[in-house]
Amino acid sequence: MSGELAVSGLGKSYRRYARPWHRLCEWAAGGRLVWHETFWALRGITFSVASGESVGIIGLNGAGKSTLLKILTGTTQPTEGQVQLGGRVAALLELGMGFHPDFSGRQNVMMAGQLMGLPVREIARLMPEIEAFAEIGEYIDQPIRTYSTGMGVRLAFSVATAARPEVLIVDETLSVGDAYFQHKCIRRIKEFQEAGTTILFVSHDPTAVKTLCGRALLLDGGRLIQDGPPDLVLDHYNALIAKREANQEILQAEAASGRMTTRSGTFEARIAAIDLLDADGRPARAFTVGERARIRARVEFTSAVVAPTVGILIRDRVGNDVFGTNSFHVAPIEGTYEPGEEMTVDFDIQLNLGVGSYTLTAAVHSDATHLASNYDWWDKVIGFRVLPGPEPPFVGSAWLPVRLRVERHARMVTSGQGGGGERA
Amino acid sequence: MKVGGRLKALWEYRGFVLGMVARDFRGRYLGSALGASWAVLNPLAQILIYTLIFSQVMQARLPNTRDPLAYSLYLCAGLLTWNYFVEVLLRSQTVFLDQANLLKKVSFPRVTLPSYVFLSASVNFSIIWALFLALLLVTGRWPGWALVALVPLLLIQQVLAVGLGLILGVTNVFFRDVAQAVGVGLQFWFWLTPIVYPVSAVPEVVRNLMAWNPLYPLVASYQSVIVEHRWPVWSDLWPVCVMATVIVGVSETVFRHLAGPMVDEL
């Protein structure tokens, strides 16, 4: 057993019941009744870690990091998928679990060790080392309640790391007291690393991930969205934070000031609502370059309308048209809509736009353009922003996916072939 | 995990289970000057109250006996074992909630928790029962060989208590109403079991009802061993054996299916 880790198709869902007795009814019905909402905290996670590798796990709050760790440590069971672990897993997530304040340090060490699954004889053998590492001296035989916070944490860390695990999970929020002991702890983790322990490091701190890990995983919304070198993944992570902030900012500004827009038309058909959604269907106003988005228009009819056309137009900051299309060109809407009827139209697009601010305009009209008969033209309904994503830096208002191929030609034709290479 | 795997895990974690039992016992008397003597003083007081008060002060007598202590012994035989049953039941029922923090944060075999609760209750029972047996010896009422019958009797009771406790403990995590319902149910159960009154005191109708009470044949057997020094009527114990087996089977299924999801509810 040497600490490989393989996770495939891992998912964890939780059931939400509006009332406790809803579950009772479900149980009583023996599965013929579904009365809960399923909430996926984690889904479709697949990755593997080689023995001795150090991998950082990053993600915003609620991204699913803790759920993943809980599954890996075995405290919770996955709803779907598999985890294969080669060896003993130790987790430095919350130290001092199972410590009882009224018992002595030594007694608590025995208990904590047994809780980790270590045999009594093994703990007894490790005891001198645990004592020495914790540096709490005579206090080892005093009740834990007489300890300072630092002493308790030191002892807990010493037990947790007394035996080298094959897989070690470290939470960055772990506080182990003063700077001196912190260094000691990091040294111990590095020793494990050198001895071949696989390390999973959960962190928000980019520099810590870069120094400790050779690879990073980025979780967002319960999904593994990137797996690669820490530099690249951290850039993506920073973009994610920037995106979320921009999103909040624009949505808040929108809510505060209302939409400053102009509208014109006969209103035989009327745009009741326009929304800009992200890939998960949540309202969004900030996207990364190349991200998928959904523009949803809800149209109400006040008169009978034959074959209406719904259109969208994206303009840049200074008002230049960047991209526009309508249903007439993409997929014509047929039939007659009666007064009182409603329809919803979704435009799924990939925002291959340059970094910057944009506005969205929507319209309902007849035929190919709004010139024939314009029911409702809603100018600049929504503003949104495009932020840099994981792609290499570029300038301009469009992102054109690019591949680079370099071929080197030797100057002397007679000297034979030159070197060549390809980069994506 | 199958039963075998669970038993293996339990064996590997025996140190933890015993540690929890010891911690439970010591934790109760920690910081008290008399320490573990309280573990004896407390049940001693209980036994003395039952014996002295009922036999001397209240002059309670069992029908058809002249022995002034007979009623007290009758009461102790039923009540001490009933208390043991209830302690296992009630503590199993809350053990997962009590140890929620540990269950959520640390990965260890969950079966260790009901096991430690059972052992801990057994330690308490052993102390009080040993005192009670000492009292029988001192007062010259030692039942002799019939005492051996206690081994299978207690075994059946333990199986019943552990199985029922496990079912209640797991379901209580999902529906906290279970604990409330059990509180009410136990009161009825107690008074529907002839512990403080002789079975002859109840009308025929109620006695027929008691045939469905799995604890009735057990309690009656304890009483016959302790008071009359007679071996139990083994044939009366078949229904409770079957019931205990069924309950253990159900508890096994419940535990296998719900022990995992249970942690998500804590």
pLDDT per residue as tens digits for the range B123-137 = 989 988 998 899 889
Highest mean pLDDT among A390-399, B6-15, B30-39, B242-251: B242-251
pLDDT score of A259 = 58
Residue B208 has pLDDT above 60, yes or no: yes
The answer to whether the CB of B217 falls within 8 A of the CB of B236 is yes
**DSSP calls for B143-186:** -GGGGGGHHHHHHHHHHHHHHHHHHHHHHHHH-THHHHHHHHHH
- Show the 3-state SS of A142-206: CEHHHCCHHHHHHHHHHHHCCCCCCEEEEECCCCCCCHHHHHHHHHHHHHHHHCCCEEEEECCCH
Residue B6's alpha-carbon distances to A344, A420, B114, B163, in angstroms, are 55, 61, 12, 15
What is the tens place of the pLDDT at every residue in A274-307?
A: 889 988 888 888 888 888 999 999 999 998 988 8
Contacts of B260 in chain A (CB under 8 A): 76-77
Give the residue among A272, A410, A110 at the shortest CA–CA distance from B16. A110
Residues 6+ apart with CB under 8 A from B168: B89, B92, B93, B178, B179, B182
Which residue in chain A has the smallest CA separation from B31?
Answer: A102
Contacts of B99 in chain A (CB under 8 A): none
- CB contact (8 A) between residue A73 and residue B102: no
Q: SS3 of A315, please?
A: strand
The answer to whether the CB of A364 falls within 8 A of the CB of A271 is yes
Residues 6+ apart with CB under 8 A from A192: A161, A164, A165, A168, A199
Partner residue opposite A76 with nearest CB, options B13, B19, B263: B263
What is the tens place of the pLDDT at every residue in B74-111?
A: 888 898 999 999 999 999 999 999 988 888 888 888 89
Which residue in chain B has the smallest CA separation from A97?
Answer: B102
Instruction: State the ipTM, two decimals.
Output: 0.75
Beta strands in A17-62 (DSSP E): 37-49, 54-59
What is the tens place of the pLDDT at every residue in B147-162?
A: 899 999 999 999 999 9
CA–centroid distance for B234 within its chain: 20
Rounded-to-5 percentages of helix, strand, coil across chain B: 80, 0, 20
pLDDT score of A420 = 45
**DSSP calls for A206-268:** HHHHHHH-SEEEEEETTEEEEEE-HHHHHHHHHHHHHHHHHHHHHHHHHHHH----EEES--S
Residue B57 has pLDDT above 80, yes or no: no
d(CA A389, CA B81): 70
pLDDT score of A413 = 58
Q: How far apart are the first and last CA of chain A?
A: 38
| Across A79-93, A162-176, B220-234, B248-262, least confident range | A162-176
- CB contact (8 A) between residue A100 and residue B19: no
- If pLDDT is split at 50, 70 and 90, which confidence band does B245 have? very high
> B-side interface with A, Cβ within 8 Å?
12-13, 15-16, 19-20, 23, 26-27, 30-31, 101-108, 174-177, 260-261, 263-264
The reply to whether A115 touches chain B by the CB within 8 Å rule is: yes
Contacts of A73 in chain B (CB under 8 A): 107
- CB contact (8 A) between residue B102 and residue A76: no
Structure tokens at A205: 């701190």
The nearest CA of chain B is from the CA of A13 a distance in Å of 10
What is the tens place of the pLDDT at every residue in A313-353?
A: 999 888 889 999 999 988 888 889 999 899 999 999 999 99
d(CA A206, CA B43): 61
- CB contact (8 A) between residue A114 and residue B15: yes
pLDDT score of B242 = 92
Instruction: Tell me how crowded residue A23 is: count the other CB atoms within 10 A of its CB.
Output: 16
Residue A422 has pLDDT above 50, yes or no: no
The answer to whether the CB of A92 falls within 8 A of the CB of A160 is yes
- Tokens 């949803």 belong to residue: A296
- Tokens 């697009």 belong to residue: A349
Residues 6+ apart with CB under 8 A from B81: B125, B154, B157, B218, B219, B222
Strands A292-301 and A404-407: unpaired
Which residue in chain B has the smallest CA separation from A123?
Answer: B15
The nearest CA of chain A is from the CA of B88 a distance in Å of 22
pLDDT score of A98 = 73
Q: What phi, psi does A275 have (nearest 5°)?
A: -135, 150
d(CA B127, CA B177): 33
CB pairs under 8 A between A and B: 59
Q: SS3 of A47, please?
A: strand
Which residue in chain B has the smallest CA separation from A93?
Answer: B105
Residue A413: DSSP 8-state: G
- CB contact (8 A) between residue A97 and residue B261: no
pLDDT score of A260 = 58
- If pLDDT is split at 50, 70 and 90, which confidence band does A400 have? very high
Structure tokens at A260: 């400053």
For chain B, percent of residues with pLDDT exceeding 70: 99
- CB contact (8 A) between residue A117 and residue B13: yes
Q: Which of B107, B172, B265 to mutate to test the interface with A (most CBs of A within 10 A)?
A: B107
Segment B252-257 shows an average pLDDT of 90
Give the residue among B161, B152, B175 at the shortest CA–CA distance from B122. B161
